Structure 1
Amino acid sequence: MTVDELRENPLLRESPLPYRLPVFSEIRAEHYLPAFEKAFADHLAEIEAIRNNPEPADFANTAEAMERSGTLLRHVALVFFNISSSDTSEQLQAIETAIAPRLSEHMDAIQLDSKLYERFSQIDTAGLDRESGRLVEKYREEFIRMGAALDDQAKQRLRELNSTLSELSTKFSQDSLANLNSAAVLFDEVAELAGLSSNEIAAAASAAEQTGNLGKYLLTLIQPSAQPALESLHNRQSRRRLHEASISRGQGLTDTRTLDLAVQMATLRAERAQILGFESHADFETSDQTAPSLASINSMLGQFAPAAVKNALAEAAALAEEAGHSIEPWDWSYYSEKVRKSRYDVDLPALKPYFELERVLNDGVFYAANKLYGLSFTERPDLQGYHPDARVWEIHNDDGSGLGLFIGDYYTRDSKNGGAWMNPLVEQSDLFGWQSVVVNNLNIPKPPAGEPTLLSYDEVVTCFHEFGHALHGLFSDVRYPRFSGTEVPRDFVEYPSQVNEMWILWPEIVSNYARHYETGEPLPEETIEKLRAAKLWGEGFATTEYLGAALLDQAWHQLAPGAEPGDPLAFEAAALENAGVSLDLIPPRYRTGYFNHIFAGGYSAGYYAYIWSEVLDAETVEWFKENGGLSRANGDHFRKELLSVGNRIDPLQAFRNFRGRDARIEPLLTRRGLN
């Protein structure tokens, strides 16, 4: 690429927009590869200058220099991988396929560099401030953990393994998205969708029309096994079709067989762990988490499983009694809602008119953040997101100072990965004077133009949950990019997001946002009380479904090096049976063939993190209740001691600073009905 072409590449120019928001209107697919090439070259040159510096290693010329290096690469990667997960295309997928192994090789060149590691070993940390000392410590740990002290032969094999695993992960992600889209279920007659709301039927008709099936109805899928429409569909055969389409993804019957990719990745990860000195990939992954050991994780999951299954079986009996016949997996959600209604007089599908997206966001999610932290939100239609559905808000502190930008991308589309997530586009750092720009992605079916977006109760929960991640990123107050925002151990990162869910039914919050979209009538207080009373109903299913996925993850990643898992479906069945969570009525939240968290994301051997973090979350909810609940003083304390510190201090110490002691498991056991 010529100098002029490089100069015209918007990814290589400093953004003139507020908070360094990328200029999405100018970025095209052809800009990414040249930007990556320049970013790779610049970063390697910066690393060479550090490793070959003739001056003795010190904090400024080695550790801080490392933090200043690679900023262009980080910028390009954050933009690209946000787009490739949120609004991909064949061209972007081809770039991702080419770039993923290059990134792996690039990072190996740095992390396996013995000379670079030696410089860090020579830094005198005496007199450094706490954050700077921790930075040096973390770099040293990472060099050892990733193999910098190994011999050349071992390093070469690590490079090969890392490159291959990167390629396989990218392929799993892309194939899983294709499988998710192809698994959508097409219905010929509207009668087959009896039980869905008029808005949901209209959305299904619109989705069918977009795929060339005018006059028919398409139910698209979300990433987990359980599909929301199963709660409402009266037609049992319709429920069965939707359920079986969901749980058979990746088996190669009508789609791409992602199961084989999972087997390859699990066995290669086991080999890599052995080279690095660990007994399994799970041991390797646990080595830099807050969990003290793999044994402690196994113990916790094992402790929960019997009680969860016992509760689930009791629920199954109640469902069969309600149905008047034995139930199948596709019946569970449908009759669970009927039992919820008969026992607690709560009909969740009927509540959707009270959960309209704009009110949930502005009068719920944002309102809670205002009451707790003094934040104000101003939508910025003058700032363009990466897709027409991606909306931009500027956030200010109560003193008027700018905090950062929040991008909300709420609707599902074929070009977007399933599920929900948060990711940064710009990470806060005092070293560079940067503030945060963060994105929330959900997958809510988009209604026809002019129709309201009515959410299920679960989608309301997801809105609050993902914004908890956003707050963790936005509130970051650290010097070094390595410690910014959500750059914390994986088994800690879900904690702030789970805490934010507590405000969903908090009296002052729910009365503000839960209002009928046509009449403005508030959700009746007696209904809210019934929702609170019904919270334990379904916990047997929810905990068993979750544990099935968490224990399946551990089974794949506690494989011994050289072990052959054999047929992946047989392996999956045996793993669930051995863990005591094999219930035909409750498939794992994610089965192997579409378990993106562990085969295409950062949660390999780490799906346990959700319930591990929930121990801290349940304790935090107790603290808020003990100290007066929704107040600025409480919000400011949580922000100061925990949400703002990123990873600049040990996360569990941050929790102690907030709570005043270590967490106890009892509040979680009570919440989930496991005690």
Structure 2
Amino acid sequence: MQTPGAEAQNPFFAVSDLPYQLPPFALIETAHYLPAFERGMADQLAEVEAIATNAEPATFENTVAALERSGQILQRVSAVFFNQASSDADAEVQEIQGEVSPKLAAHSDAIHLDKRLFARISALVEGGEADSLDAESRRLLERYHLDFVRAGAGLTDEQQDRLRAVNEELSALQTAFQNKLLTDTNATAVVVDDVAELDGLAADAVTAAAATARERGLDGSYVLTLGLPSGQPVLTSLTNRGLRERIHRASVSRGAHCDDNDTLQTAARIATLRAERAALFGHPDHATYVLEDRTAKTPAAVHDMLGKLTPAAVANAHAEAARLQEAIGDEFELQAWDWAHYSDKVRRATYSIDAAELRPYFELERVLRDGVFYAASQLYGLSFTEREDLVAYHPDARVFEVFDHDGSGLGLFIGDFFTRDSKRGGAWMNSFVEQSFLMGTKPVVINNLNIVKPPAGEPALLTFDEVNTMFHEFGHALHGLFSNVAHPTFSGTSVYRDFVEFPSQVNEMWAVWPSVLENYAVHHSTGEPLDPGVVQRLLDSQIWGEGFATTEYLAATLLDLAWHEIAPGTVVDDPLAFEAAALAQAGVALEAVPPRYRTSYFAHIFSGGYSAGYYSYIWSEVLDADTVEWFKENGGLLRANGDHFRRELLSRGGSIDSMEAFRNFRGRDPQIEPLLVRRGLAQ
């Protein structure tokens, strides 16, 4: 219940007066969310009504630009709330999310199914006004028209009524999937009572597990929390095979316990409804509907690309499995929970690389400041100042002001690096404020990671995968920070879904670039730099395990497509049987190599924005690998190279066709050969 006078004090009702319009987190309370959503939706509907009933003939300014300006309160509360729902949710936030998500779906439909609005936009398209617009405005008009068509503006009244019902149910189901998965992931964390079982785990990781147990009221025990993917990092180092099996089984069974947190039937219902919605638009399945508005264009194009990768990846995985079995001997047969442990042994034996021994050289603060920020300073001329005077949404979230090469303020970067029970798994980038000349705003972007937080006073030591993830997510942040567009619809990462991972994947290359690596890879206690020979062996070792890594990824990708290529009217009664059949048919049903995500915890596609789009990572990696070759051919970490990449691609957002931006940068279409070499798939 909102307290008297709270409406006038609601911080979402006015533009923040903090630097870069950073949300005033010190003033925001959970009680502010629902009133802000309600007013935000009401205000935008009033603004839209004024646009739709404008007696003046439609113009770009009074229709399209007016729509761009509408809904500012709703935008502000949505950005803050949905970040919290992902990064710091509690029962009250989850309850609000469950209530507001269907309302937001209905609100979107109320706008996009408004035939008066659609008529005004169509009149602009058909009337030739586009010819008098600048290139970005012309593209925005076309984008609005396409969005209205794809949202159902051209459907019959009866079809629109059914579409509204489907969208509302989907919104509620997607929220339920996210909340059930978070609850079950916390509930299935593995509790260890005997510290001897943790043999092989680094001392700081053992201490962190004990701290997590104390936080849960389990003094004297140790709690190993679960990350989002099937494979859990601790499986690499734990020597106790029984504990490894417990952790693996806990991981792959999340959401499949036939209790209140079961996600399987939720996922199946989501897939059925998406297929029905696709049929309303005349498409044979959801994948076809989605891919029509991606760079891939058709499921056939995606399958064609995956077909070039899958046989070689699976063959490599079988070869790796045989090598791991040799390392195990006759003691037992290789299982999924053994793979990471023995793969690390083989890597160490072959390349003299011990992943655990590398962690002391990857201290979070050094990686951030002397690695991630350093690479950005060398490549783009950026500088960073931590703003301890600015409050973020959680004590662990840190605010940095980002300055451009000329010293001008570019925006704010917020880093929220540590895992907690209230945060969903994985790593991602969000925006609180998006750059737009129309709105006069500069970007405020966030990176969320899930690194285990060390006890107070101890350093946070990262695995190399976590280092890579930090560089990856900052690539998304740069995409948002460098945005240089007029309209918020096109800002930052607002590009095709199968293009959005490309810039972030490119940024991973700097994690192992020699001058960057030697700048941050320093022993946290001795100051000793990581030996260059170790660095070279680390680089050489990256090809090892690509069979497993590529196969587990392709299995998840093909599972995503299977769920979203079901025909309208299909009801999947047994999701696990459907999953098994899909993997077998795709040729990726390897018992020791489970999909990176199974159906019951595939948040990317059932509660995120990657439905029929998980292929995007490897589709983008084709562009990424080709771009890495360009940087190498042109001297690497040079300002001239960074400026070219920024100018032609990172700054353009969605204001230009994604593949046109790539061609402007690269000078030609992408080639797949660099990716095949990188992943060990070349003949």
Do both proteins adopt the same fold according to a TM-score greater than 0.5, normalized to the shorter chain?
yes
In the alignment, what sits opposite 1:128?
A: 133
Q: Decide whether aligned partners of structure 1 residues 394 and 327 sit closer, same or farther in structure 2, where only a CA change above 3 A counts.
A: same
SS at match of 1:563: coil
2:62 is matched with 61
Q: Is the 8 A contact 1:322 1:339 kept in 2?
A: yes
- The CA distance in 2 between the partners of 1:596 and 1:75, in whole Å, is 25
User: Is the 8 Å Cα contact of residues 139 and 655 (structure 2) preserved in structure 1?
Assistant: yes
d(CA) in 2 for partners of 1:182, 1:370? 42
**Superposed CA offset, 1:144-201 (max 9, x none):** 1111011100000000000000000000000000111111100011110000111000
AA aligned opposite 1:109: A
Aligned amino acid, residue 641 of structure 2: N
SS at match of 2:663: helix
Match in the other structure for 1:559:
566
Q: What is the match of residue 539 of structure 1?
A: 546
Tell me the distance in 2 between the aligned counterparts of 1:463 and 1:289.
Answer: 27
Question: Structure 1 residue 26 and structure 2 residue 27: aligned?
Answer: yes
Note the C-alpha offset of 1:14.
2.0
Residue identity matched to 1:146: A
CA distance in structure 2 between the aligned counterparts of 1:457 and 1:151, rounded to whole angstroms: 54
1:289 pairs, out of 294, 302, 305, with: 294
Give CA-to-partner distance per residue, 1:407-427, whole Å, 9 cap, x none: 000111011111100000000
Q: Which residue number in structure 2 is paired with residue 449 of structure 1?
A: 456
Measure how far apart 1:13 and its partner are: 2.1
Distance 1:308 1:284 in 2: 29
- State how 1:28-427 maps to structure 2 within 5 Å: 28-123=29-124, 124-252=129-257, 256-325=261-330, 326-427=333-434
Once residues 55 and 4 of structure 2 are traced to their aligned partners in structure 1, the CA distance between those partners, rounded to angstroms, is 32
Contact 2:269–2:571 (CA<8 Å) still a contact in 1? no
In structure 1, how many angstroms separate the alpha carbons of the residues matched to 2:40 and 2:259? 40
1-side partners of 2:463 and 2:267: how far apart?
32
1:537 CA drift (Å): 0.2
The residue type equivalent to 1:141 in the other structure is L
- Alpha-carbon shift at residue 2 of structure 1 (Å): 9.5
Q: Which moved more, 1:200-209 or 1:317-326?
A: 317-326
Look up the match of 2:13.
12
Task: Say whether the 8 Å CA contact 1:182–1:255 is kept in structure 2.
Answer: no
Superposition CA RMSD, Å: 1.0
Counterpart-to-counterpart distance in 1, 2:364 and 2:247: 25
Whether 2:615 is the aligned partner of 1:614: answer no
Partner of 1:529: 536
Partner residue, 1:498: 505
1:333 alignment partner, SS class: helix
AA of the residue aligned to 2:135: R
Report the CA distance between 1:44 and its aligned residue: 0.3
Matched residues in 2 for 1:476 and 1:125: separation? 24
- DSSP 3-state at the match of 2:131: coil
Deviates more, 1:5-14 or 1:522-531: 5-14
CA–CA separation in structure 2 for the residues paired with 1:322 and 1:667: 31
Relative to structure 2, which stretch is displaced further, 465-474 or 316-325?
316-325
Looking at structure 1, the residues matched to 36 and 637 of structure 2 have their Cα atoms a distance apart, in angstroms, of: 46
> Is the Cα–Cα contact under 8 Å of residues 309 and 540 in structure 1 kept in the other structure?
yes
Kindly indicate whether the alpha-carbon contact (under 8 Å) linking 2:344 and 2:355 is maintained by their aligned counterparts in 1.
Answer: yes
Deviation at 1:398, TM superposition (A): 1.5
1:464, 1:500 within 8 Å by CA — same for their partners in 2? yes
| Whole-Å separation in 2 of the counterparts to 1:89 and 1:47 | 34
The Cα shift of 1:134 comes to 0.2
Residue 5 of structure 1 deviates from its aligned partner by 3.0
1:300 offset after TM fit, Å?
Answer: 1.1
Q: Distance in 2 between matches of 1:545 and 1:611?
A: 12
* Local SS of the residue matching 1:199: helix
Distance 1:504 1:126 in 2: 45
- Distance 1:103-1:256 versus aligned 2 partners, 3 A rule: same
Q: Is contact 2:263–2:600 with CA below 8 Å preserved after alignment?
A: yes
In structure 2, distance between residues paired with 1:249 and 1:6: 41
Q: Which residue of 1 aligns with 2:521?
A: 514
Cα shift at 1:255: 6.6
Within 2, Cα distance between the matches of 1:9 and 1:305?
53
- Residue 302 of structure 1: how far off its partner (Å): 2.0
Alignment partners' CA distance in 2, 1:355 and 1:118? 57
Contact 1:302/1:579 (8 A) holds in 2: no
For 2:240 and 2:638, how far apart are their aligned partners in 1? Answer: 47
Aligned residue type for 1:74 = Q
Of 458, 467, 470, which aligns to 1:463? 470
1:433 and 2:415 aligned = no
* Shift, 1:253, TM fit: 5.2
Deviates more, 1:294-303 or 1:422-431: 294-303
> Contact 1:7 / 1:13 at 8 angstroms: preserved in 2?
no
Deviation at 1:125, TM superposition (A): 1.0
Measured against aligned partners, the alpha-carbon deviations of 1:421-479 in whole angstroms (never above 9, x if no partner) come to 00000000000110000000001111111111000111001000000000000100000
SS at match of 2:132: coil
SS of the aligned residue for 2:515 comes to: helix
The answer to whether the 8 A contact 2:14-2:73 is kept is no
Distance in 2 between residues matched to 1:555 and 1:673, nearest whole Å? 26
8 A contact 1:249–1:255 mirrored in 2: no
Cα deviation digits, residues 522-552 of structure 1 (max 9, x gap): 1100000001111110000000000010000
**Aligned with 1:80: secondary structure?**
helix
Distance in 2, Cα, partners of 1:503 & 1:398 = 19
Query: Is the partner of 1:314 in helix, strand or coil?
Result: helix
| Alpha-carbon shift at residue 6 of structure 1 (Å) | 2.1
Are the counterparts in 2 of residues 146 and 276 from structure 1 also a CA contact under 8 Å?
no
Give the TM-score normalised by structure 2. 0.98
Divergent runs of 4+, >4 A? 1-4
Q: Return the TM-score normalized by structure 1.
A: 0.99
Q: Alpha-carbon deviations, 1:498-525, whole Å to 9, x = none?
A: 0000011101000000000000101100
Q: For 2:500, what is the secondary structure of its paired residue?
A: helix
Cα deviation, residue 625, structure 1: 0.3
Whole-angstrom distance in 2 between the partners of 1:359 and 1:249:
34
> What SS is found at the alignment partner of 1:405?
strand
Deviations 1:195-234 (A, max 9, x none): 0111000000001111111111110010000000000000
Matched-pair identity in %: 60
Q: Which amino acid aligns with 1:665?
A: I
Secondary structure of 1:251's aligned partner: coil
Stretches of structure 2 lacking an aligned partner (at least 5 in a row): none
Give the Cα separation in 2 of the matches to 1:519 and 1:576. 48
**CA displacement at 1:254 relative to structure 2:** 6.8
Q: Offset at 1:72?
A: 1.5
SS of equivalent residue, structure 2 residue 637: coil
Aligned partner of residue 368 in structure 2, secondary structure: helix
1: distance between equivalents of 2:316 and 2:654?
37
For residues 477-492 of structure 1, what are the structure 2 equivalents within 5 Å?
Answer: 477-492=484-499
Q: List per-residue Cα deviations over 1:372-407 (Å, max 9, x = no partner).
A: 000000001100110000000000012110000000
Distance 1:308 1:115 in 2: 52
> Does the 8 Å contact 1:421/1:440 carry over to 2?
yes
